[in-house]
Amino acid sequence: METMILSANLDALAQISLFIADAAEYVGLDDRTTWQIQLAVDEAATNIIQYAYDPDCPGHITLSWQRNDNAFTVTLQDTGRGFDPDEVPPPDLLSPLEERQVGGLGIYLMTRLMDEVHFHFDPQYGNVLTMVKYLTVDETDDTAVLPINGRLDASNVALINKEAQKIIERGVRYLIIDLCNVYFMSSSGLRILLIIRKELMTLGGELHLACLQPHVHEVFELTGFTQVFTIHPSVDAARHALRNQHK
């Protein structure tokens, strides 16, 4: 867990974004998940800066994050005026743009980008906002799914490997890597998949790949890796195959 305290002014937004980016890199989050958390935290911090304190008397924001099992949690705390999210009307997303009322979009984005969003008032700490992002899905005993988004290349293979190692360290021996949202893969990406596969095989486990996009699948065909990896059309198909294989 790490914490930072900043002055509640707009200049702090860049520091907040960097703080979250560093946390995401340390934990091993993919680019899309990092962006989602950064945007949600930016919206929350902006609301605090603009509405919690008077402009001539800015206070502070305490920002912290922690990783527990499969959840990445961000907490923002301020001692400004009380806030009740239930009093904020939902944004109008259907009317023509020129007729829409301003407001509500920040909270809406936070609830769409994060898996859990909780507001509460603490007599000692003031307003406390907690947001949670789930990082892996459908993990049971010795099987887990690791989703990857965007590119899989030299720029992020270390982070992907770090995330895979954390899953393996928890005792997972059958790992499904979900490539449904990967639109680009380089030789570095292939290499890290080989490394993960080799480690799992050494431990008596297996690596299965799911949902390769056409361009990515072509890379596997060109390199002959379709003969090396077990590839499924979907995550559900991979789960089904593993269940039948290990009955």
CATH of the domain at 176: 3.30.750.24
- 142 with 238, same domain: the answer is yes
Query: Residue 99's pLDDT is what?
Result: 45
Across residues 51-65, what is the average pLDDT? 89
Per the structure, the complete domain to which residue 21 belongs is given by 2-134
Instruction: Among 134, 166, 190, identify where a domain stops.
Output: 134
Of the pLDDT bands very low, low, confident and very high (cuts 50, 70, 90), residue 19 is: very high
How far apart CA 68 and CA 176 sit, in angstroms, is: 21
pTM, 2 dp: 0.54
Given a cut of 60, is residue 138 above it in pLDDT? Answer: no
Domain count, the chain: 2
- 145 with 204, same domain: the answer is yes
Instruction: Among 114, 134, 154, identify where a domain stops.
Output: 134
Percent of the chain having pLDDT more than 90?
55
Residues in the chain: 247
CATH number at residue 106: 3.30.565.10
- 6 with 19, same domain: the answer is yes
